[in-house]
Amino acid sequence: MNRSFRGCALLALTSVLTIFGCGDDGAAPSSAGSASGGGEGGQGGHGAAGSGTAGSGTAGGGAAGGSEAEGGGAASTGSGGAAVCGDARCEAPETCGSCADDCGVCPPVCGDGTCEPARETCHACATDCGECPVGECGHDLCEEGDPLVAGCDPCVTALCTRDPACCMSAWGPDCVDGLATACGRTCGCAHDLCETGEPLDPACNGCVETVCDPSEGDGYCCMFDWDESCIALARIRCGLTCP
């Protein structure tokens, strides 16, 4: 019985030692291997640290990307602040002269020495386009109607210099009456104001009425004779221009 008990106790002790690593030498390499494995695992930890470094590099790249984004924003701001011809917006310092695409064509300027087709004519700006060709007038100067061509008659040229509308819009009553002061020609009077002759009727023309007004003029001109003094008075009172 004692020998059997001792055998069982020895077997139990051997099992305990095996469990706690105190067995034969074959178990030691296993423990060493585990430790070695742990060491390699530690090295693996260094590897993770290396990945972390790489991650930092990636983060740096992100920061660089942010810088590029900021740079792009700055470039966009710079582009928006400068006027660009052709963007359909007339912005300073653009003008019709420097960028007609955005600001439109500059209006014609009479007197700049350039006759712009379809925008300036000999009627509207003889200074740039020259005098209109001499030809027959469209109707009698004493008749109201369509505008007459400056140059068709010296009296028309003189009147349209004073009143361009007569050669551009219509030949109205003001144009007919204006002939008297522009060139001395009258409509309905016995003779032109620039000619001496019989007395004139005050009702035939406004200038004649002014000249013969007793309070300011000389009634003699409409009662007895239209002489040089009457013509001189018409120049003073009405601005009469004689050829």
| Tokens of residue 72, six digits | 């792009």
Residue at 68 is within a domain: no
Summarised one tens digit per residue, pLDDT across range 21-74 is 544 444 444 433 333 333 343 343 343 333 433 333 333 333 333 334 344 433
Give the C-alpha separation, 161 to 165, whole Å. Answer: 9
Q: What is the mean pLDDT of the segment spanning 177-181?
A: 88
The predicted structure's pLDDT at residue 6: 58
The secondary structure of residue 169, as a DSSP letter, is: T
- Sequence-distant (6+) residues with CB within 8 A of 2 are none
Encoding tokens for residue 167? 């050669």
- pTM of the entire structure? 0.41
Please report whether residue 8 resides in a domain. no
- Does 201 lie in the same domain as 159? no
State the pLDDT confidence band at 173, using cuts at 50, 70 and 90: very high
Residue 147 lies in a domain: yes
Is residue 15 situated within a structural domain? no
**Is residue 236 in some structural domain?**
yes
Last residue of a domain, one of 183, 207, 224: 183
Q: Are residues 164 and 199 in the same domain?
A: no
Residues 140 and 171 in one domain: yes
**195 is a domain residue:** yes
> Measuring CA to CA, how many Å separate 52 from each of 66, 123, 241?
21, 87, 103
Residue 203 DSSP symbol? G
Range of the domain at 201: 184-243
Q: What is the mean pLDDT of the chain?
A: 73
DSSP three-state, residue 134: coil
- Domain count within the chain: 3
Res 111: pLDDT? 82
